[in-house]
Amino acid sequence: MSVARVTFSLPESDVRELRNLATKWGTTSSGAVARLIADYRSRQLDLAMAEGYAALAKEQATEAQSALMAQAEVVLRD
């Protein structure tokens, strides 16, 4: 993995929080930023999967309702 050096400015309170996280996680500030980004990506993937599963469930419920109605016509006719 290649590494790029970046410089950015943050409010002092954010820098303190970043350093606290780095200490808590036993890493550097750069490591904490990398972990935060990885966690963000993971949450985004989880949200996308949840949306996909919800859409699939809705589609399957619609299909099940259609099948039930078709089956009910046959059963009620007999």
Q: Where are the domains of the chain?
A: 12-77
The pLDDT of residue 30: 96
Q: What is the pLDDT of residues 28-42, one digit of tens each?
A: 999 999 999 999 999
DSSP 39: H
- Residues 6+ positions from 39 with CB-CB distance below 8 Å: none
d(CA 45, CA 69): 36
Determine the 3-state secondary structure of 9 from DSSP: coil
The pLDDT of residue 78: 59
Q: Which segments of the chain have a pLDDT < 50?
A: none
pTM value is 0.63
The pLDDT of residue 31: 96
The pLDDT of residue 69: 79
Joined tokens for residue 66 = 């259609």
The one-letter code for the residue type at 29 is S
